[in-house]
Amino acid sequence: MAYVIAEPCIGTKDTACVDACPVDCIHPKKNTAYDDGRPSFDEVEKLYIDPTECIDCGACAPVCPVSAPPSGSPLY
């Protein structure tokens, strides 16, 4: 089951997790326009992890400055 970015990310939107993710499953990206209806970086309060792309590697957790995906514990 995928990691989930929780409430502490609201308003922070630090993108260290985006850079750490080996499968590019954290969205939205800064400076990226989506043509498929997804909101842009400026339109969201927090980032999200696409559960269909996440491989549960945990690379995002230790780099998050607000522990939005709790280290070592994916949310199910």
Name the residue ranges covered by the structural domains of the chain.
1-76
Low-confidence ranges of the chain (pLDDT < 70): 1, 71-76
Q: What is the pLDDT of residues 27-39, one digit of tens each?
A: 998 888 888 988 9
Q: Which CATH number is associated with domain 1-76?
A: 3.30.70.20
pLDDT for the residue numbered 72: 56
Q: In whole angstroms, what is the distance from residue 70 CA to residue 32 CA?
A: 26
Q: In whole angstroms, what is the distance from residue 35 CA to residue 6 CA?
A: 26
Q: What angle do CA 49, 54, 59 make, to 5 degrees?
A: 85
3-state secondary structure (DSSP) of residue 26: strand
pLDDT for the residue numbered 52: 93
